[in-house]
Amino acid sequence: MNHSPFSGLVAFVSGAGRGFGRRVCERLAGAGAKLVVTDYSDDLVNGTIAALKGKTAISGLSGDIADEETSRKLAALIASEHRQLDIAINNAGIAQTQQRLHETDSEVARKVVAVDLLGVFYAMKHQIPLMLETAEKTGRTGVILNVASAAGVMGAPKIAAYSAAKHGVVGLTRSAAMEYARKGIRVNCICPAFTKTEMVLQPLEADPKGKAKAEANMVAFNPMQRLGEIDEIVEAMLFAVSPANSFFNGQALSVDGGLSA
């Protein structure tokens, strides 16, 4: 018998094709949660579904989270298949090439804000009604975890648009936490520093200075002088969404090796 606190719960994960999203799906599936997943391509979505099929109930669809219709369709899928939503992990996002603010292309800035901030807003807008219905019908509380960044709680030179979007995610998180706490919904965000995801490693591999030097520059101001591991971040994600952690609300949880200290 599965005595996990996640057993039987319905969890949604965006950016589920790789990195934090893929790993947290694996952990939740192993703990007995049912999953609905999304990413920007069919290949990424189908890859995660194929890897976990047979281990748990899992379905999903691909789409652009910067388009509100994607979140609307995902909410409809969750409602039709499960009629409840217990956990939502809004993990999908994009990075920004390092450039000074005045040299940053305005279309790049617009896209970063559309995906990293408005994508989270649209997701929450359509997840919250499902969670309110779940709380009303079952008495179970729901939890939303938004993936922000260390750049969302401190200044981040040369990635100003990304930093602004992630600061916005922290603001959305705190505001929603205050709005819905009495309705049975907790809302938190996690703020990781640079971690060994594809989004971080690919630019390092392509850096003309060489990977080793680029990585050394990236972690130069981190007290632990290294990149984070995916599993280190995922442990904190599971902590944040666990039903056993029911008094944890409205927080921006830094998992950054002490960078923001």
Strands lying side by side in the sheet with 58-60: 58-60, 34-38, 10-14, 87-90, 142-147, 185-192, 252-255
Residues 106 and 221 in one domain: no
For the segment 197-254, what is each residue's pLDDT rounded down to a tens digit? 988 888 888 888 888 888 888 898 999 999 999 999 999 999 999 999 999 999 999 9
> Residue 3 falls within a domain, yes or no?
no
- One-character DSSP codes across the chain: ----TTTT-EEEEESTTSHHHHHHHHHHHHTT-EEEEE-SSHHHHHHHHHHHBTTB-EEE----TTSHHHHHHHHHHHHHHTS---EEEE----------GGGS-HHHHHHHHIIIIIHHHHHHHHHHHHHHHHHHHH---EEEEEE--GGGSS--TT-HHHHHHHHHHHHHHHHHHHHHGGGTEEEEEEEE-SBSSHHHHHHHHH-TT-HHHHHHHHTTT-TT-SPBPHHHHHHHHHHHH-TT-TT--S-EEEESTTTT-
pLDDT band at 138 (very low <50, low <70, confident <90, very high): confident
φ, ψ (nearest 5 deg) of residue 148: -100, -125
For the segment 141-177, what is each residue's pLDDT rounded down to a tens digit? 899 999 999 999 999 999 999 999 999 999 999 999 9
> Residue 260 falls within a domain, yes or no?
no
Residues 115 and 220 in one domain: no
Task: Check residue 208 and give its pLDDT.
Answer: 83
The pair of structure tokens assigned to 226 is 């290294």
Task: Check residue 2 and give its pLDDT.
Answer: 58
Please give the tally of structural domains in the chain.
2
> Residue 5 falls within a domain, yes or no?
no
pLDDT band at 118 (very low <50, low <70, confident <90, very high): very high
Task: Check residue 213 and give its pLDDT.
Answer: 86
> Residue 41 falls within a domain, yes or no?
yes
Residues 222 and 175 in one domain: no
Inform me whether the pLDDT recorded for 20 exceeds 80.
yes
Residues 138 and 220 in one domain: no
Q: DSSP class of residue 67? A: S
Residues 34 and 156 in one domain: yes
The pair of structure tokens assigned to 175 is 């505001």
Residues 82 and 200 in one domain: no
Range of the domain at 102: 10-193+229-255
Compute, in degrees rounded to 10, the torsion defined by CA atoms 35, 95, 109, 208: -160
Residues 148 and 175 in one domain: yes
Supply the residues annotated as catalytic. 162
> Residue 24 falls within a domain, yes or no?
yes
> Residue 1 falls within a domain, yes or no?
no
Task: Check residue 18 and give its pLDDT.
Answer: 96
- AA identity, residue 58: I
Its pTM stands at 0.95
Residues 23 and 87 in one domain: yes
Residues 80 and 167 in one domain: yes
Question: Across residues 19-30, what is the average pLDDT?
Answer: 98
User: Can you give the CATH number for the domain in which 121 is found?
Assistant: 3.40.50.720
Nearest alpha-carbon partner for 41 in 2, 70, 72, 68: 70
Residues 51 and 67 in one domain: yes
What angle, 0 to 180 degrees and rounded to 10, lies between the N-to-C axes of helices 42-52 and 19-30? 30
Residues 84 and 208 in one domain: no
Question: Across residues 115-128, what is the average pLDDT?
Answer: 98
> Residue 122 falls within a domain, yes or no?
yes
Task: Check residue 202 and give its pLDDT.
Answer: 84
Residues 113 and 222 in one domain: no
For the segment 42-69, what is each residue's pLDDT rounded down to a tens digit? 999 999 999 999 999 999 999 999 999 9
For the segment 173-198, what is each residue's pLDDT rounded down to a tens digit? 999 999 999 999 999 999 999 999 98
